[in-house]
Amino acid sequence: MKLLREMFIIILIYFIGEVLSKYVITFIPGNILGMIILLVLLSTKLMKLEAIETVAKFFLDHLAFFFVPAGVGLLAALDLLQGNIIKLLVICVVSTFIVMGVTGKTVQMLINKKK
């Protein structure tokens, strides 16, 4: 029953993000809005981590599995990508470094805020 409740909470937050994306903030995808809502709820302690911890740990433990559909989609569209492989690799490398930098700065800011 606990797993079902935790999954329901995560799906509800995702659904709220999708509704907001469709009707209010149309330029941000619903799944991103859902993650922002979840972050705000956890950061403000309106929702305790224990309320979703088991399901969240399961998702994190099996995160690689969720990339399989994206990989298959890339293989299916390989003929469309062949002329742009160098551009795509540059974009992937640059965006990876940007994400790493922003993540590092965010973590440092949160650690300093906690102290």
pLDDT, mean of residues 62-83? 86
Q: How open is the CA angle 47-63-103, to the nearest 5 degrees?
A: 65
pLDDT in tens, 4-57: 999 999 999 999 999 999 999 888 899 999 999 999 999 999 999 999 999 999
Residue whose structure tokens are 């929702």: 47
User: Cβ distance 35 to 16 under 8 Å?
Assistant: no
Residue whose structure tokens are 């990508």: 81
pLDDT in tens, 95-106: 999 999 999 999
Dig out the tokens for 89 from the structure.
């690799």
Residue whose structure tokens are 């993650």: 35
For the chain, report the end-to-end CA distance as a whole number of angstroms. 37
